[in-house]
Chains A and B, each alone.
Chain A
Amino acid sequence: EVHLEQSGPEVIQPGESLKISCKASGYNFETYWIAWVRQMPEKGLECMAMIYPLDSDVKYNPSFQGNVTISVDKSTTTAFLQWSSLKASDSAMYYCVRGSVGPSPFFDYWGQGTLVTVSS
């Protein structure tokens, strides 16, 4: 059974760094894209970045490039999203999602979400 288990909620002060995680299980981690999706309070869904673990090929949404870094650890089948300096506007729910097989993957499995609150 495919499962994406995300790290717990975070309360962070502005300017601090943060790395959230997504532990994947139940499938061959290396050969499926994995992505991060942001959902701000009462707002829609935005795809931030996507990575192919086998070769670490990465795609960033231009709206997020430079502000976040996506990475994976193949040895622990874990994906990460990190910020070097958070702002209040980064407060949101963040979901990791698995991309389906095929040349144009869609998001077939979702993690439970990690709530990030940036506040002084």
Chain B
Amino acid sequence: EIVMTQSPATLSVSPGERVTLSCRASQSLHTNLAWFQQKPGQAPRLLISGASTRATDIPARFSGSGSGTEFTLSISSLQSEDFAVYYCQQYKNWPRTFGRGTKLELK
């Protein structure tokens, strides 16, 4: 099973800041990496697939990069609605596995 490690677990940020979240895989994924956003009481929502391709209706302030085992999700200018938990997930192998998440909280 591929282990996904996200860092940091929690990030305290202010609106308008640029943030970068990290995700590491225990083996190469090529670019088979997705990012999800989950707000309290809601289902996760797909943000990024293929490590860098934004899903439908995802704002351009969200961007993904990386390949192999190291990936990042960046939010260029944090909006109030972006405070949430972000998960990375590999889809190279079965079972699909997720990181433990990074929570963005208001500083």
Contacts and interface: CB of A to CB of B under 8 A. Distances in A.
Interface of A: 35, 44-47, 50, 59, 61-63, 95, 100, 104-113
A107 B43 contact: no
Contact of A100 (B45, B49, B92, B97): B49
A101 B49 CA distance: 12
Closest CB pairs A-B (n = 5)? A61-B95, A47-B96, A110-B43, A45-B98, A106-B91
Contact of A44 (B32, B45, B87, B96): B87
Q: On chain B, which size bracket covers the interface? A: 20 to 34
Contacts of A44: 87, 98-101
B94 A45 contact: no
B44 A110 contact: yes
Contacts, number: 53
Q: Is the interface of B mostly helix, strand, loop or mixed?
A: loop
A35 B46 CA distance: 15
A47 B99 contact: no
Contact of A107 (B34, B92, B94, B97): B34
Given A47-B96, A61-B95, A110 B34 contact: no
A20 to B, nearest CB: 15
A112 B42 CA distance: 7
B45, B49, B96 interface centre (most CB from chain A within 10 Å):
B96
Given A44-B87, A45-B87, A45-B89, A50 B94 contact: yes
A107 B89 contact: yes
Given A104-B92, A105-B91, A47 B55 contact: no
Given A44-B87, A104-B32, A110 B98 contact: no
Nearest to B43: A110
A59 B94 contact: yes
B97 to A, nearest CB: 7
B46 A106 contact: yes
